[in-house]
Structure 1
Amino acid sequence: FQSHDERYAFIAEWYDPNASLFRRYELLYYPKDGSIEMYDVKNRRTFLKRTQYESLHLEDLYVGSKITVFSRHLSIVDYGNLYTSRKLGSRKERTLALIKPDAMHKIGELIDIIINSGLTITKAKMMLLSRKEAADFYVDHRAKPFYHELLQFITSGPVLAMEILGDDAVSKWKAIVGPANPTATETDTLDSIRENFGHGGLRDAAHGPDSVASAAKELELFFPSSGGRGPMSSATFTNCTCCIIKPHAVNEGLTGKIIKAILKEGFQISALQMFNMERPNAEEFYEIYRGVVPEYLEMVSELCSGPCIAMEITPSEPPKVFRDFCGPSDPELARHLRPGTLRAVFGKNKIQNAVHCTDLPEDGILEVR
């Protein structure tokens, strides 16, 4: 039961490019009618009167999230009061979801499983682990007879590391992954990732830490908080195309489905990373469209409105042109002319057309970098 005026409070920051400083706001969210209100903390005045804002949902609001309110890109940096912190923050946990080399061809399905379980992917990067990084990761298995085989397997190809967030995320993800040695007699393994995607033994598709402490330690290895780079990206920077899943599509939970479609078409995803693009970077990225495409400013706003996923796409066999598979930039046009293309299937309009892809072959490596 939600009382009529139940509200949650958050502290949000906005970078003002004109003044080159961060402005801080208190953001109030009313779950009953999905309305929001904003106060300018420094000037102690109302910045936005209570108004309904349908594109913002309670699950979008957590410490560390990036949201857009009337084209203003805000970062949630803290809870605004004890009530909100206790109600929303107490069960929120972060954990590591690691997809191992043997299941990398199924990352679309696995990302779908994560999203459908109600967990939020907050970081993602396809990586190549060095032997030392693998040894650090599996330090607890050092005395096991299969230790060296384990290191060999985890360094045999790219892995996909993700930070996932949600209520009781550690135990929830661990249950989804399933036990280390699933057997058909165990009821809790029947629908687990290891049962459905694993190949037995060490080739067990995915990993999840077994405690909050382990999760923090392992996340630090893959996504160092110190600003370090962590394991090396799996990008090849050769004969490749750049594809970006736009923020609206990520927000709508389409990431897994788009990746599945790309892989099904025969293309390879040789690198992947989730990131938030700042406006100056988005402007630079779309520089060639400035003054050419009337939607340039809206395209920039969309690209920096939330997390996006950049991928390095390498050619299919037999070779196909990835740009053709993306389809015309206008999804309406795509649905008429190229109904099976990514934009026809997943796009909404010319701005929110699901994906960006490299227009010119020579720009592929440049954009991936």
Structure 2
Amino acid sequence: MSVLGFELEWFDEVSGILQTLYLKFFLDDNTIEILKGTSTFLKRIFYPEVKLSDLFVGNSITVFNRLFLIKKFANKATTEYMNAREVRYLCRIGRDNLSQLGKLLIVAKNVGLVLGKVVTTSSSFYSSILAADQGDVVIELVGKLCTNRDALLKAIQVPSLSSVDAVMASAQEIEDALRSCGKASFRSQNCTLCLVKPHIMKSQTTGELLNAVTASGDFQIKAVFSIHMTLSMGEELFEVYRGLYHNYSAMLEHMCSTPVLAVLVTGTGSNADYEDIVSSFREFVGPGDPALAKVLRPESLRARFGESVVKNSVHCTDLPEDGEMECRYFFETLSSL
């Protein structure tokens, strides 16, 4: 087989119309073409940000600043090809053990899995494949070209992942289960937002970064939520930086290029009610320029994981008075969409 077909959904923010398009992925040279009906929407090109590993049902991709949701395989041949090579897991981590999330993502990467959707449950639920309590985190993991389809089930049988449940499931079963989770709800005070940027998600170093946050001993993860932001969502969040950030346009484009992971962070133990968690976490994240961070704060997140001013690993809340507002924007406003 030389060409795969995928049905896409695209919301045109200008016209306000939800459109159905079709993407062709050419296996011989990894090029793509997008059709609108029988007409060409995007002529065949090589677009390096779209890889075969990105093309699974439920995932979203960005091509020239347009966000496309992959709804389904477009034909029987593609369905058979992808199903023969794809494995999916749905995992659950208890709300009191979210420090294990980073470890799970590292293990998943090591067995060839990529991160799909992530939600924090708003209430207890039971589906045909998984049960979870309020505040638990449910994670979709997807693998391509997997020769050992139960590799994750074996890999999580270690004490450090004792609170992780995992089950293999179909795309439809996972979609139904995630819908049963409800939307993440905002329940914290004295919190700050950590937004894991697209380049970290694409390079699959999200697990190492989250491990660094919890291993510090000063911070704990209370909720997580994955979303592919549109340009309008990004503009609403980052509008205050427009006149302050000389790379604003590049930063905004990067933040909307692939899904990001929103992480609600609080203090630990006796510091759980620490009122200046925003400033404390911002100091832990480090200066905005990773090159400067490597000199001034070599143990900071941006020194360890940042690549450039735009790709500096994470966005974190800047001002103490904005911590609750930014968390509420993701874990209340965006999660309800």
Give the TM-score, by structure 1 length.
0.75
The reply to whether residue 224 of structure 1 matches residue 216 of structure 2 is no
Q: Distance in 2 between matches of 1:139 and 1:258?
A: 29
Q: Distance in 1 between matches of 2:108 and 2:204?
A: 10
State which of 125, 129, 142 in structure 2 corresponds to 1:165.
Answer: 142
Shift of 1:137: 6.5
Aligned to 1:194: 157
| Structure of greater Rg | 1
Q: Which runs of 5+ in 1 are unaligned?
A: 141-150, 179-191, 199-203
Mapped contact 1:103–1:197 kept (Cα < 8 A): no
Question: Residue type of the partner of 1:18?
Answer: V
State which of 21, 24, 32 in structure 2 corresponds to 1:25.
Answer: 21
Structure 2 counterpart SS, 1:56: coil
Question: Residue type of the partner of 1:194?
Answer: Q
Structure 1 residues 17-166: aligned runs within 5 Å:
17-39=13-35, 41-42=36-37, 44-90=38-84, 92-100=86-94, 103-127=97-121, 130=124, 133=125, 136=126, 158-166=135-143
Mapped contact 1:194–1:205 kept (Cα < 8 A): no
How big is each residue's C-alpha offset from its partner over 1:56-107, in whole Å with a ceiling of 9 and x where there is no partner? 2111012221112233222222323332222113554543201235643222
Aligned to 2:163: 205
Mapped contact 2:67–2:230 kept (Cα < 8 A): no
Mapped contact 2:89–2:168 kept (Cα < 8 A): no
Structure 1 residues 320-339: aligned runs within 5 Å:
321-339=280-298
Aligned to 2:317: 358
How big is each residue's C-alpha offset from its partner over 1:297-328, in whole Å with a ceiling of 9 and x where there is no partner? 32222222221111111125777711011112
State which of 187, 191, 197 in structure 2 corresponds to 1:240.
Answer: 191
Shift of 1:210: 6.6
User: How many pairs are equivalent?
Assistant: 319
Question: Residue type of the partner of 2:235?
Answer: E
Q: Distance in 1 between matches of 2:313 and 2:213?
A: 13
Q: 1:207 to 1:193 in 2, by over 3 A?
A: same
Mapped contact 1:11–1:80 kept (Cα < 8 A): yes
Q: Which runs of 5+ in 2 are unaligned?
A: 329-337
Q: 1:106 to 1:208 in 2, by over 3 A?
A: closer
Q: 1:138 to 1:129 in 2, by over 3 A?
A: farther
Aligned to 1:269: 221
Bigger proportion of residues as strand: 2
Q: Distance in 1 between matches of 2:198 and 2:207?
A: 14
Mapped contact 1:25–1:38 kept (Cα < 8 A): yes
Q: Distance in 2 between matches of 1:275 and 1:97?
A: 18
The reply to whether residue 258 of structure 1 matches residue 254 of structure 2 is no
State which of 336, 344, 355 in structure 1 corresponds to 2:303.
Answer: 344
Q: Distance in 1 between matches of 2:170 and 2:72?
A: 20
Q: Distance in 2 between matches of 1:259 and 1:107?
A: 7
Q: Distance in 1 between matches of 2:70 and 2:129?
A: 35
Q: Distance in 1 between matches of 2:190 and 2:324?
A: 7
Identity in percent:
33
